[in-house]
Amino acid sequence: MAFQTVKIIISGQVQGVGFRPFVFNLAEKYEVKGTVSNNEEGVVIYAEASKEHIASFYKALIEQAPIVSKIDGHYLSEINHKNYGNFKIIPSENESRLNLQLTPDFGICDKCKNEINDPENIRYKYPFTTCVHCGPRWAITKTFPFERHHTSMVEFEMCGSCKDEYTDPRNRRFHSQTNSCEICGIQLKLIDNNCNLIAAENDAIFSTVQKLLSQGNIVAIKNTSGYLLCCDATNASVVQKLRQKKNRPEKPFALLYPSIEKLKDHFDIPFHIEKEIIAVERPIVILSKTERSDNTIASNVAPRLNQLGIMLPNSALLQLLANAIDFPIVATSGNVSGSPILSDNSEALERLGSIADYFLQHNLGIEHPQDDSVIKFSSNSYQRVLFRRSRGFAPNYYAPKIEGEKKVMAMGAHLKSSIGFMPNDYIYISQYLGHLENYDVYERFVKEVSGFINIFKQNPNVVLVDKHPTYQSTLYGKELAESLGAELYEIQHHKAHFASVLAEHSLFNSSEEVLGVIWDGTGYGEDKQIWGGEFFTYSNGNMQRLTHFDYFDWLAGDKMAKEPRLSLFSLLEAEKIPSISEKFTTKEMTIYKELKNKNKLKTSSVGRLFDAVASLLDICDYNTYEGEAAIKLENEVIDYDLARCHSYITVSIIKHIPTKAIIKGVQSDLDKGTEKPQIICNFLFTLASIILGVAKLNGIKRIACSGGVFQNTILLDMLKEIAEDDFELFFNCNLSPNDENISLGQMMYFLNTIDADL
């Protein structure tokens, strides 16, 4: 029998996912001898067996890989015979720069869930039960390769029983880097906000927390990715107390249910939504009114909204909490409104002590705190939209390898910040960080930049920033580039949005021209005006602005984004201003009229157009959270009938889209007594018709849409329905359409337009 010795490299998301134990057991099955280890490229295997067994072994490696792994490359090469005596896992190699995908956090698996519920199991009620298929990864990562001593789990030495599992090839925890149990593992304690110990035994902790929640208390719970603020979602009084203390008057709270089975008792869950809710990422999934039937939930959980954000437990800790309660609970980010999610115990006590009555804490260090990710599906076409990309998805961006010498770091935008880094053949996008106007968010942003540089041991030699001269991300990026001697490039905000969609769908090499429709709230334009209603074309490495919505006055700076009434004031003709006088004091009316007469700063923002419509329809005059007016506008519509919709304008051979004509159309419908939901449908139908009208006028069949406006799922459905098969539509899929995608867009714009021309 002919023997063969080979070296196999597997790259992708293959560390911290049970790949080496999987390889070990396959080797035993196919009588293969050799070694497996992690290295900076992924997993490296030296294998020796008959040619037939090597072929079967290699095929099984790729086709039967662990469910949470993602292979993006594999390579086999024959090497000299080495005469291995057996097959074993050996310590990780560490000889060159890191060049593999990192590992995100994974939701608790069914087997671990069963163990914590089994009184006969050693991990019964142990809140940090994990295995090779589940548990925190990115949250606890200090450096790579993914080994226990490179994570905050290094503080917990495994007991004899855990070591036996770790070294047993037939055990599910064979080489599980997060392995621990109640004897040797992470310690949990319940204290009040004065640091008095309430309970320290796991058995008593969760029953006590259940009692505290049912009595109307707010409990800050340290999960494996950061703190959550929790309370009884059926108790309107405590929900309101949480709102007041957290300074979050209107923004909806997320809900935690114990299981998909219990969730189905209260909601009609379509298959595509169920699949997302139980996915390994365990995101918050937004359910619309048509799926909602749990009438016990307090109305102020999601004030004036016909939707709820629902999630299942993503950790053993949350699962044990959920098991102990018989009511849904609010589980919202543990922070003060506008600040980043907290993870440090002492800092949480200091910042949240005035909000939470009790704290459920543990002593596992969290290196990368992360909010829960948020996803919504459109009602008709089931278009999936990421509203927030964080825990479970960060820090990987799945794309073909990009080989090059330049180490590129993108600083992203100012609102909904994220960082992008390409230190090797892969792209990494940080978790959602927040608004950089908040100093604590800015500090977290700076820390994540340093963290990326330290993990990869690579300084960027190219730094990319937004063109906006006062964005904190831009200012910091310029400082970083100067300190490192790196090249600095400014990328226009909306071109970055467009580039993000082109990248997601591999359209940079498209032989056909692509229309980019980029609509959002604000972005610094190349003419120094505030853009936000833009149309671009892209072909052959060239991106050009094609047209845009007519400019209107940008009033009172950033205040305009917070007060939809100002957008309405700006867009109404002078003779119509008195009709909205009740929205302003006499003094305000005088000031804003004067501002409008003298104003030179203009905007094309479709986001502000949404605000104006919401104010005109008396839906929202003040935003208490970003995008509130647009969300509440969409919320008014349960369903639509295209046959009943009409457009307020007709796109013809004109220079720009007549923004004020759209407001006139809304006003006309309102004057006729048309119902608000139908007016909103007509408005959205108008926007969808404009997109296709511009495409038709320019003979373009491929349309790529990005920007925060495209979080409106009714607009997406209408656009897809009207377009039918006449156009190809592309949306952000693995990133949010909002400013979280700017960091990727900056990198891809640089690589495909600027760098390509250098």
Q: Could you give all domains of the chain from N- to C-terminal order, each with its CATH number?
A: 3-89 (3.30.70.100), 188-372 (3.90.870.40), 405-500+743-757 (3.30.420.360), 512-732 (3.30.420.40)
DSSP bridge partners of 35: 46, 88
With a cut of 70, list the residues of the chain below it in pLDDT: 1, 93-96, 289-294, 653-654, 756-758
pLDDT value, residue 94: 62
| Residue 145: per-residue pLDDT | 76
Dihedral in degrees, nearest 10, Cα atoms 262, 263, 268, 269: -120
pLDDT at 655: 80
Length reported for the chain = 758
The answer to whether 391 is a known catalytic residue is no
- Of the candidates 25, 38, 335, 388, the residue annotated as catalytic is 38
The pLDDT score that the predictor gives to residue 558 is 87
| pLDDT of amino acid 539 | 94
In 147-274, the DSSP E strands lie at 188-192, 197-199, 219-223, 226-232, 254-256
Is the preceding omega at residue 66 within 30 degrees of 0, hence cis?
no
For residue 480, the model assigns a pLDDT of 98
Contacts of 343 (CB under 8 A, 6+ apart): 222, 225, 226, 227, 366, 369
Q: How many CB atoms lie within 10 A of CB 232?
A: 23
| pLDDT on residue 163 | 97
Structure tokens at 7: 């070296």
pLDDT (0 to 100) of residue 289: 64
Burial class, 88, CB count within 10 angstroms (exposed 0-12 / middle 13-18 / buried 19+): middle
Residues 532, 522: contact at Cβ < 8 Å? Answer: yes
What are the E-state strand segments in 290-373?
307-311, 329-333, 358-362
pLDDT in the model for residue 473: 98
- CA-nearest of 373, 157, 159, 188 to 285 is 373
SS3 content of the chain, % helix, strand, coil (to 5): 35, 20, 40
C-alpha span between 524 and 56 (Å, rounded): 56
Token look-up 């020796």 returns: 48
List 20, 148, 173, 388, catalytic entry: 20
Token readout for 219 is 């409990």
Closest to 310 measured CA to CA, from 250, 258, 384:
258
Q: What are phi and psi of 728, to 5 degrees?
A: -100, 125
436-449 residue pLDDT tens: 999 999 999 999 99
- Tokens coding 170: 């037939």
Q: Of 597, 548, 544, which Cα lies nearest the Cα of 570? A: 597
Contacts of 420 by beta carbon, 8 Å cutoff, 6+ apart: 397, 408, 409, 410, 412, 427, 428, 429, 430, 743, 744, 746, 747
At 73-99, the pLDDT tens digits run 899 999 998 889 899 988 776 656 778
Which spans in 378-516 are helix H? 439-456, 472-484, 493-504
Q: Output Rg (C-alpha) for the chain, integer angstroms.
A: 27
pLDDT, one tens digit per residue, over 699-720 is: 999 999 999 999 999 999 999 9
The answer to whether the beta carbons of residues 231 and 249 sit under 8 Å apart is: no
What distance in Å separates the CA atoms of residue 382 and residue 369, rounded to the nearest whole number?
Answer: 30
> In sequence order, what are the residues at sequence separation of 6 or more whose Cβ sits closer than 8 angstroms to the Cβ of residue 116?
123, 124, 125, 126, 127, 129, 316, 319, 320
Q: Which two tokens stand for residue 52?
A: 């037939």
Both tokens assigned to 377: 């599906």
Q: What is the pLDDT of residue 296?
A: 87
Given this model, what pLDDT does residue 95 score? 58
Active site residue 38: yes
- Which among 129, 108, 146, 110 is positioned nearest to 180, based on CA atoms? 129
Q: Provide the pLDDT for residue 39.
A: 83
Beta-sheet pairing, 188-192 with 358-362: antiparallel
Give the whole-angstrom CA distance, residue 149 versus residue 154: 5
